[in-house]
Structure 1
Amino acid sequence: MTTFGLFVDFRRLDSSGRSAAAHGARTLELLAGAEALGCDAAWFTEHHGFADGYLPQPLVLAAAVAARTTNLRLGTAVVLAPLRHPRHIAEEAALVDVISSGRVELGLGAGYAQAEYDAFDVDMARRFDRTDSVALEVRRLLGSGDVTPGPVQRPLPLWLGYQGPKGAHRAGRAGMGLLSLDRALFEPYRQGLAAGGHDPGDARMGGLVDILVADDPPAAAERLLPHWLHQQNTYRALMRRPDGSRPSPLDEDKVRQRLAATGRLGALQVLDVAGAVAELRRRLDGLPAHHVFAWLSLADMPDDLVERHVELWCGPVREAVRNSGGDTDATGPAARLES
């Protein structure tokens, strides 16, 4: 059964009016409330050096959420494996698994930002080979008894966050889950499983979908525009072209024009319940999708949009996708997240 989760980047914008401490408390409150609404999982990401406080230590926040919840799966999408020693990752993941009574899903990835590698004084040139070797060593350590306390789950679920066909093949060859729902990667992943001596029938995929759910999608998309623009421009600031130059920031007027023409903010779709259910059924059909997750909050978007998105995603969208042909009407009574 596919779990429905929320993807947490922990950004805080000045417009929220909250302190960092209040923002942290609010995040814990939202995730505990999401669990009560039916959410299955929270997934935590990683970046470094963002002025808006983008989450730098995903397993630290996962431990805090573990203490506030009872059933929520706690995933990383992803820990930047080349920036850490494998024993450090294994010990931290095992401890969170103990604290949570066996709810960790450990996703590892390579990252793409030269500035982050520079900050940790790590060579970026062989990051994919390094990610593979760290992942294999983490798996060995978690199963060896050398890490104490050891994890509750034996084995602890491991994932690789690769997004291209070569990476999908690597994930399969290693016998790990693939943190992507890109249909084009399914076959390379299966081929990798077979090449590594693993049963292709054991394929596991999961990942982020750029969907936000709202009662009035056009109105919500207009309010989300500055938050999406902030998100995209901070990502673009990390990127480098082959010649070393940076992409220019996106222009708000051009983004608004594209929104008017397409109804989308880039790849992000703001949908009502029926639209989200239809889109998810299309994306997940035929894939071994163990996990699907949407943003908890897009770059610290307004509280009312966060709360309604969470209750619709964790309630009627989740229920309808799990129960083919189920009721997708979101107008009936639903539990409200307390602000």
Structure 2
Amino acid sequence: MGLLTALRLNMTNIADPNARHGDRYQAALEMAEYADRSGFTAVSAEEHHLAATGWLPSPLILAAAVAGRTRKVRISINALIVPLYDPIRLAEDVAVLDNITQGRFSFVAGMGYRPEEYHAAGKDWLRRGVLMDHCLSVLLQAWRDEPFEYQGKRIDVTPKPHTRPHPIVFVGGMTPAAARRAARFGLPFSPPMPMPDLVAVYEQELLRHGKTGFAYYPENGSTVTLLHADPDEAWSRYGGFIMTEVAEYSAWRRAGVPRPNETPATSVADLRRLNSVEILTPAQLIDQIRSGRTEVVVNPLVGGLPIDDGWASLQLLVDDVLPQVNRASA
């Protein structure tokens, strides 16, 4: 397997309600186009609502915009909070995206972990598991060629997707219930980090239901990489921006709801030690890849990081790292 490279566009900004986001969205589309030309594997987005940083609330719209600017790169949403959606409308939107991208689009179906997001969408937090199952069931029926029974009437959702039998959907989560749900629907399972015990539950449930599937998780969990010629200098300049995103994410923690990168950092020094975000020189990253690292996820707009600095990090990967990796592979 070659090196997997992903551009993460979660669109976090400084935590200021008066912050402007237009230039950052334009930069995100330009970065996606650049990543596509540079041979990246994927461009990823994710969904959160009511965030002080403006954390991306409309990943399907961003995915469509990215699709219009790219030709080869995969486009993924990790994760889409499916219980917040009307299932028929979601089936239509995903089918259109699947046709636009000719099968390059996929998403991880997640339930989320913030009751306030459910409140804002008019959904019942206490029924999130039922809502999740209902939405997945409707999606899989809506994408079939034949009509199906929905709320007492037969309907036929169009257009049909490009990908057969349906667009690529993973079920995400960090609990046995999530693993069992993925197996029950015959969908691939995507925990956010290596979790062998959950994968074992998933595989046992697949056998029990007579279904086939697979599990996929990121090699390095949710680690995000930035590149700079001098990591110490970069941490002094970028640490506050990175901390803005991490602090907001940590504030959403709920007892009994597991999430990746749960250990909160109270300072930039803590954050650097935890290694959920790493700043490396190109030479350090090349050494890691030569030693067997297979995935690199970059987030050049993290937490309001200035656009020019984000571009500089991204270009170091494309200009100084990928040519070395490609030569070695050849």
| TM-score > 0.5 by shorter chain | yes
Counterpart residue number, 2:167: 156
Counterpart residue number, 1:177: 188
Aligned residue runs from structure 1 range 270-281, under 5 A: 270-273=279-282, 275-276=284-285
After superposing the two structures, state which structure 1 stretch, 128-137 or 147-156, moved more.
Answer: 128-137
Contact 2:186–2:206 under 8 Å retained in 1: yes
Partner Cα separation in structure 2 for residue 196 and residue 44 of structure 1 = 32
Counterpart residue number, 2:222: 209
User: What one-letter code is carried by the residue in structure 2 that aligns with 1:95?
Assistant: V
Task: Tell me the secondary structure at the aligned position of residue 55 of structure 1.
Answer: coil
Identity %: 27
Partner Cα separation in structure 1 for residue 158 and residue 169 of structure 2 = 18
Partner Cα separation in structure 1 for residue 199 and residue 252 of structure 2 = 28
User: What one-letter code is carried by the residue in structure 2 that aligns with 1:86?
Assistant: P
Counterpart residue number, 2:244: 230
Partner Cα separation in structure 1 for residue 321 and residue 209 of structure 2 = 36
Task: Tell me the secondary structure at the aligned position of residue 299 of structure 1.
Answer: helix
Contact 1:213–1:271 under 8 Å retained in 2: yes
Cα pair distance change 1:67/1:7, threshold 3 Å: same
Does residue 258 of structure 1 match 2:270?
yes
TM-score (norm 2): 0.79
Counterpart residue number, 1:68: 69
Query: 1:121, CA displacement in angstroms?
Result: 2.1
Cα pair distance change 1:100/1:161, threshold 3 Å: same
Query: 1:312, CA displacement in angstroms?
Result: 4.8
Structure 1: unaligned runs, 5 residues or longer = 243-249, 286-290, 328-339
Task: Tell me the secondary structure at the aligned position of residue 143 of structure 1.
Answer: coil
Counterpart residue number, 2:134: 133
Partner Cα separation in structure 2 for residue 65 and residue 158 of structure 1 = 19
Count the aligned residue pairs: 306
Cα pair distance change 1:322/1:297, threshold 3 Å: same
Query: 1:231, CA displacement in angstroms?
Result: 0.9
After superposing the two structures, state which structure 1 stretch, 119-128 or 41-50, moved more.
Answer: 119-128
Query: 1:58, CA displacement in angstroms?
Result: 0.6
User: What one-letter code is carried by the residue in structure 2 that aligns with 1:10?
Assistant: M
CA RMSD of aligned residues (A): 3.3
Contact 2:14–2:303 under 8 Å retained in 1: yes
Partner Cα separation in structure 2 for residue 226 and residue 321 of structure 1 = 31
Aligned residue runs from structure 1 range 320-339, under 5 A: 326=329
Contact 2:240–2:268 under 8 Å retained in 1: no
Partner Cα separation in structure 2 for residue 209 and residue 139 of structure 1 = 28
Cα pair distance change 1:178/1:292, threshold 3 Å: farther
Task: Tell me the secondary structure at the aligned position of residue 304 of structure 2.
Answer: coil
Partner Cα separation in structure 1 for residue 273 and residue 33 of structure 2 = 30
Contact 1:48–1:55 under 8 Å retained in 2: yes
Query: 1:25, CA displacement in angstroms?
Result: 1.3
Cα pair distance change 1:51/1:141, threshold 3 Å: same
Counterpart residue number, 1:187: 200
After superposing the two structures, state which structure 1 stretch, 61-70 or 155-164, moved more.
Answer: 155-164
Q: 1:168 aligns with which of 169, 173, 179?
A: 179
Counterpart residue number, 2:152: none
Structure 2: unaligned runs, 5 residues or longer = 147-155, 257-263
Query: 1:114, CA displacement in angstroms?
Result: 1.1
Partner Cα separation in structure 2 for residue 314 and residue 176 of structure 1 = 34
Partner Cα separation in structure 2 for residue 314 and residue 147 of structure 1 = 42
Cα pair distance change 1:121/1:102, threshold 3 Å: same
